[in-house]
Structure 1
Amino acid sequence: MSGLIFAITLAWPDWIEKIFEIDPDQHSGALEWVIVAVAFFAAIVFALLARSEWRRPRDLTADSPGQT
């Protein structure tokens, strides 16, 4: 998703103004680049969290169904 937002912002730097008919950054494109940066860093953080969760050892003995 961050890659898609990046590509859209490269091709259409003031897409927020055109889609939502508001002008928060006076057609500078700054808000769009902030959104791209936030989406990129969120993707990196979530990828690292998923990687650490994937590598975390599992406790297969606890909470197994059928055991008392």
Structure 2
Amino acid sequence: MTQSHPAVRTRFWLQAGFSAAALVLALVTLISREWIELLTGWDPDRGSGTVEWVIVAVLGLIAITLGAAARHEWHRPRAAATD
């Protein structure tokens, strides 16, 4: 008898969701760098755009890291099921 594929853990869904959110925010920041100032009224770099580029880089790294972790989590149950 063949075992069914075990469900992925909640950790996968959290990692995938936060990865997607970070990617969306990074893309929004690339498209419209003024959204932070419009939303908060805060302009720490006085219009130079430096903070926005740092935000894009950090959000990109977060998206990549969490995406890789989610991918690992997705494959974990499959590997355990074949043991």
TM-score of the two chains, using structure 2 as the length reference: 0.53
Aligned residues: 59
Per chain length, whose mean CA-contact separation is higher, i.e. which structure has more relative contact order (CA < 8 Å, sep 6+)?
2
Aligned counterpart, 1:12? 32
Structure 1, gaps ≥5 residues long? 61-68
TM-score of the two chains, using structure 1 as the length reference: 0.61
CA spacing shift, 1:23–1:49, aligned 2, 3 Å: same
Pairwise mapping of residues 1-68 of structure 1 onto structure 2 (< 5 A)? 1-56=21-76, 57-58=79-80
> Higher helix share goes to which structure?
2
After TM superposition, the runs of 4+ consecutive aligned structure 1 residues lying more than 6 A away are: none
User: For the pair shown, which has the larger CA radius of gyration, 1 or 2?
Assistant: 1
